[in-house]
Structure 1
Amino acid sequence: MGTWDIGHFDNDSAADFCGGLDDAAPGEREALLRSALQLAARAEEYLDSDEAVDAVAAAALVAAQCPGGVAVTSAYGPKEPLPPLAAELRPLAVAALDRVVAEESELAELWDETESGPAWREGIQALRGVLAASASSSAVEAPVAGS
């Protein structure tokens, strides 16, 4: 994995993932994000770094549409706009990020071997915070079944 900084898009795999989003039809982009998040969130065994990087990039793109989210301005992010994303992606993104930083995650292990590991983890936690706050506020605002 070619990595040049700790940002969510500062590596070859994330840049390739975003290129794939750009190549996809507009109606397929949300499904690609969902797939990347599900792959990481549901990983029961060792999580490969490329899969984890894709999940981090997908989570950052979901978070960009949340209140308090940061717009993706990286030159390595998608060039094409994303459609408004379903709020249900937010808790999935939280679960994916939790798995990325958990044990048996190659990406977390790689970062933990560097002096930039703590800063990388802080960036993931900040991203998770935006998503978690938005996911919980969406759940509170959702109508209760039967009411």
Structure 2
Amino acid sequence: MGTWDVGPFDNDTAADFAGDLDEAALDERESVIRGALKRAANPADYLDAPDAERAVAAAALVVAQHPAGQPACPNYGPSEPLPEFPADLRTLAVDALDHVVAEPSELAELWGEAPDGPKWRQDITRLRHVLDPPLPPQEEGLFDV
């Protein structure tokens, strides 16, 4: 089936990643998430689509534990409990998401050619903004002395 929607778990690779998490021991699940994020945050050269899809799913799970986050996909995401993630995974997830949407990323290229590409990019931006909110614009004169 491949990809059926723009959500973090709406593709075969991410759904398989969720299954891998469910099969991993509870104390190994954080390292599985960390590994997926590291591969995308520090790509050797070209970030291939499967690594990017796993990173987006992993980032969505980090977002789900953030106070401003939303739950991950209940249908295709992991069904087993996840440990509480350390705060440094938030920064790693932001770095991974930045590489997923930048060149050279196969997933960004594929979505760039798809009709729902802008919707996918908005979803990635939403995840990123939960983890690293943009600074609000400053009003002119606010800090003038």
**Please, which runs of 5 or more residues in structure 2 have no aligned partner?**
135-145
Displacement of 1:16: 0.4
Contact 1:9–1:74 (Cα < 8 Å) also in 2 = no
- Considering only CA atoms, is the larger Rg found in Structure 1 or Structure 2? 2
Contact 2:111-2:117 within 8 A present in 1 as well: yes
- TM-score, normalized by length of structure 1? 0.88
2:101 alignment partner in structure 1: 101
Residue identity (%): 60
Partner Cα distance (1:124, 1:31) in 2: 22
Residue number in structure 1 paired with 2:33:
33
The alignment partner of 1:114 has SS state of coil
Q: Distance in 1 between matches of 2:108 and 2:73?
A: 24
In 2, the alpha carbon distance for the partners of 1:5 and 1:98 equals: 20
Report the counterpart of residue 115 of structure 2 in structure 1: 115
CA RMSD of aligned residues (A): 1.3
Matches within 5 A, 1:1-147: 2-133=2-133
Counterpart Cα distance in 2 of 1:73 and 1:15: 10
Do the aligned partners of 1:30 and 1:85 also contact (CA within 8 Å) in 2? yes
Say if 2:17 and 2:54, in contact at 8 Å, map to a contact too. Answer: yes
2:137 corresponding residue in structure 1: none
Q: Cα deviation per residue 1:16-51 (whole Å; 9 max; x = unaligned)? A: 000000000000000000000000000041100000
Deviation at 1:90, TM superposition (A): 0.1
Q: How many Å separate the matches in 2 of 1:4 and 1:73?
A: 13
What SS does structure 2 have at the residue aligned with 1:32? helix
Q: Tell me how far apart the structure 1 counterparts of residues 68 and 81 of structure 2 sit (CA, whole Å).
A: 19
1:13–1:54 contact (8 Å) kept in structure 2: yes
Aligned counterparts of 2:34 and 2:91: Cα–Cα separation in 1: 11
Counterpart secondary structure, 2:132: helix
> Match for residue 138 of structure 2?
none
Question: What displacement does 1:67 show?
Answer: 1.5
